[in-house]
């Protein structure tokens, strides 16, 4: 029971304990401490004072958008104007109509400010979602570019392997054709031309691709007559090779063929 009475007395005395605020010098934060005055009304009071000059009476607060007579009565004893005598609080007869209009303004102002705040929050949320969606789009574009690069590399590798396989098939076909020509010539009883010598897989033999003849190029592992011919033709057209890896400039020579050459290929 005593605790309840103590809380009631403290509640009744709270406005008396609050320091009065000077209308023409108070900040938004100070106005915000008044009962019934939130951040929006506090800003409205300061903006009205900046646009219209110092308040000449407490009653002039009634002209601030969102401040009605009801709010004015709640803060009447908590505000003052420096150098002005105490003003009597307006009576109900003086402020009945004005209070109704001020109440309408107050409700309208609060609704507009609340709507603006909600709109701003919704706009910020939309901007955040848009930024996240844009980031996801960037990730998708990067993934697409990476996939395109990998596909291009795979296509080039496949083209090199296909070209090498085709060259190998051409070499085998050339060998088979030469063998068939020899057999046909022998069957006719005439002397056949000497076949291109096969590649002697001699361990440790080095072939300088910048000076070797077409027959000497055949000594390289995996190099048949067709590849030897195009290597020789490329060297005559484009000059010597800087290294054995430079053979990739020759059509039909890929990484697999160069790897098979091992130490047998030299350039000087």
* Mean pLDDT along residues 247-252: 93
At residue 264, the pLDDT reads 92
Stronger pLDDT, 93 or 262, i.e. the higher one: 262
Task: Categorize the per-residue pLDDT at 5 as very low, low, confident or very high, splitting at 50, 70 and 90.
Answer: low
What is the separation, in whole angstroms, between the first and last Cα of the chain? 110
What pLDDT, in 10s, does the model give residues 48-80?
A: 999 999 999 999 999 999 999 899 999 999 999
As a whole number of angstroms, the distance between CA 68 and CA 55 comes to 16
* pLDDT attached to residue 204: 77
Instruction: For the chain, give every domain's residue range.
Output: 2-125, 158-268
Strand partners, 22: 80
For 103-162, what is each residue's pLDDT tens digit?
444 444 454 454 445 644 654 655 466 546 555 545 654 655 665 466 556 555 555 565
Higher pLDDT, 101 or 135: 135
Taking Cα atoms as reference points, which of 62, 52, 51, 49 lies closest to residue 22?
49
Token duo for residue 92:
């109900």
The confidence band for 91, taking pLDDT boundaries of 50, 70 and 90, is confident
Q: Kindly give, in sequence order, each residue whose CB lies less than 8 Å from that of residue 267, ignoring residues fewer than 6 positions away.
A: 208, 209, 210, 240, 241, 242, 243, 244, 246
Question: For residue 211, what pLDDT band results from cuts at 50, 70 and 90?
Answer: very high
Whether the pLDDT of residue 102 is over 60: the answer is: no
For residue 28, what are the contacts with CB-CB under 8 A and spacing of at least 6?
39, 42, 43, 46
Over residues 217-229, the pLDDT tens digits come to 999 998 999 999 9
Q: Calculate what percentage of the chain has a pLDDT beyond 70.
A: 51
List of residues 6+ apart from 73 with CB closer than 8 A: 89
Average pLDDT, the chain: 73
Taking 80 as the threshold, does the pLDDT of residue 170 lie above it? no
The CATH homologous superfamily for domain 158-268 is: Photosystem II 12 kDa extrinsic protein (1.10.150.320)
């Amino acid at each position: 029971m005593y605790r309840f009475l103590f809380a009631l007395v403290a509640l009744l005395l709270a406005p008396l304990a609050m320091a009065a605020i000077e209308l023409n010098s108070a900040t938004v934060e100070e106005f915000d401490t008044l009962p019934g005055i939130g951040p929006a009304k506090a800003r409205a009071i300061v903006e009205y004072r900046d646009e219209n000059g110092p308040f000449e009476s407490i009653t002039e607060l009634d002209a601030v958008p969102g401040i009605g007579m009801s709010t004015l009565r709640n803060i009447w004893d908590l505000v003052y104007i420096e150098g002005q005598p105490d003003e009597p609080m307006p009576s109900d007869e003086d402020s009945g109509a004005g209070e109704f209009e001020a109440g309408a303004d107050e409700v309208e102002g609060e609704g507009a400010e609340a709507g603006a705040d909600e709109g701003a929050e919704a706009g910020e949320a939309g901007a955040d979602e848009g930024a996240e969606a844009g980031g996801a789009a960037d990730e998708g574009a990067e993934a697409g570019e990476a996939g395109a690069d990998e596909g291009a590399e795979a296509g080039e590798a496949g083209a090199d392997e296909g070209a090498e396989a085709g060259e190998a098939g051409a070499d085998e076909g050339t060998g088979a054709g030469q063998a068939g020509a020899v057999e046909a010539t022998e069957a006719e009883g005439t002397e056949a031309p000497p076949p291109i010598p096969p590649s002697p897989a001699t361990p440790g033999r080095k072939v300088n691709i910048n000076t070797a003849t077409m027959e000497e190029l055949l000594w390289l592992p995996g190099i048949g007559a067709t590849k030897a011919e195009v290597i020789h033709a490329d060297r005559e057209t484009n000059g010597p090779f800087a290294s054995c890896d430079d053979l990739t400039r020759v059509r039909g020579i890929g990484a697999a063929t160069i790897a098979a050459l091992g130490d047998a290929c030299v350039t000087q």
